[in-house]
Amino acid sequence: MIKLTAIEKYYENRVIKTFVLRNINLEVKEGEFVSVMGPSGSGKTTLLNIIGMLDAPSNGEYYFLDEPVHKMSEKRLTELHKTYIGFVFQSYHLIDELTVYENLETPLLYQRVNSNNRKGRVAETLDRFGMVAKKDLFPNQLSGGQQQLVAIARAVIAEPKLILADEPTGNLHSEQGKEIMDLLKKLNEQGTTIIQVTHSETNAAYGNRIIRLKDGWIEK
């Protein structure tokens, strides 16, 4: 599903090139559950963003479902990540001006899901995440943990083939964290490919493969 060959990412200023990712070769098959680990600043988020097509690599090739992402038009990129990829961020990135319900609804709107279908799916997701009572609240009326729950729910609702989660449980207490991990596991068992970044060995163990990054290199 995902094939990265010799991916590099660096930031340049007038004086120096700072490498964030170096010679990344990585293949992820459909249905895998991959955990990315590594110290802070090692490039985990950058790698995830590149896979998620939010960021372009400086060098290297990236094939997604055998299509060359590095050669794709902006339009096709939007199309691909809209239909195949769901994101969960380290910080929740909910839209402050929208209610929980509306936040969940947003990706479906962009995918032109019709109104009845949309209502059904939002209701179902609210139910599944136990947030029915909170559907009319705004993000700043929720605790951090609850906000992350909404963010995950929002990533899941569009039924993506690939979920990219950047420390999804970082701000949740262990009970909720476990719930989320179980949920991700279940999604994975139903066929969703998942790549998560995590600091926790326990959470990493939910995946069937661990990739360790250090200073931008994949540790062998």
Partner 1 sequence: MIRNYLKTALRNLLRFKIYSGINIIGLAVGMAACMLIFLYVQNDMSFDKFNKNYNRIYRVVDIWTQNGSVARWSLTPTGYANAFTNDFPGVKAVRLSHGNGPVVIKYGDKLFKTDGVILADSTFFNVFTFPLIEGNPNEALAAPFSIVLSESEAHKIFGTIDPLGKTIRLLNQFDFTVTGVAKDPPRNSSIQFSFLASFTSLPGIYHAPASILNNFNSNDYYTFLLLPKGYQVESIRNSLPSLLTKYKESDIGFYEREKLLLQPLSDVHFSTNLLFDFPNKGDKQYDYILSGIALFILLIACVNFINLSTARSATRAKEIGIRKVLGSNRSRLVRQLMMEFAILTLLSAAIGFVLIELFLPAFNSATQAHLSTNFFDNPLMILSFVAIWILVVVIASSYPSFYLSSFQPVATIKGPSGSGSGRSVFRKSLIVFQFAISTFLITVTIVMWSQYNFLKSHKLGFDGRQVIYLPWSTEIVKNYDAFKQQLLQRPRIESVARTGWLPGNPYDIEGYTWAGKSGGRSDSYYTMMVDPDLASVLRLKFEAGRDFSRNMPTDWSQSFVINEAAAKRMGWTAPEAIGHTLNSSYGEKGKIIGVVENFNIKSLKHEVEPVVMSMDSTHSQRSIVAMRISGKDIPATMTYIKSQWERFSPDFPFDFNFLDESFGRLYNSEQRLSGLFTTASLLSIVIACLGLFGLAAYATQERTKEMGIRKVLGATIPQVINLIAGDFLKLVAVAALIAWPLAYFAMQKWLQNFAYRLDIGLWIFIVSGAIALAIAMLTVSSQAIRAATANPIESLRYE
Ligand X SMILES: Nc1ncnc2c1ncn2[C@@H]1O[C@H](COP(=O)(O)OP(=O)(O)O)[C@@H](O)[C@H]1O
Q: Quick one: tokens of 36?
A: 């990315």
45 vs 192, which CB is nearer to Mg ion?
A: 45
Q: Which of 2, 20, 36, 94 binds partner 1 (CB under 8 A)?
A: 94
Min separation Cβ 120 and ligand X, Å: 36
Contact between 110 and ligand X per CB under 6 A: no
Contact between 121 and partner 1 per CB under 8 A: no
Neighbour count for residue 18 (Cβ, 10 Å): 11
Q: What are phi and psi of 193, to 5 degrees?
A: -80, 140
Footprint of partner 1 on 32-51 (CB under 8 A): 49
Q: Which of 24, 28, 43, 53 binds ligand X (CB under 6 A)?
A: 43
Contact between 45 and ligand X per CB under 6 A: yes
CA distances in angstroms from 77 to 6, 107, 160, 192, listed in the order given: 20, 16, 15, 20
**How is 166-198 classified by DSSP, letter by letter?**
ESTTTTS-HHHHHHHHHHHHHHHHTT-EEEEE-
Contact between 17 and ligand X per CB under 6 A: no
Stretch that binds partner 1, among 16-24, 90-98, 113-121, 186-194 (CB under 8 A): 90-98
Q: Which residues pair with 127 in a beta bridge?
A: none
Residues interacting with ligand X, by CB under 6 A?
A: 11, 18, 20, 38, 40-46
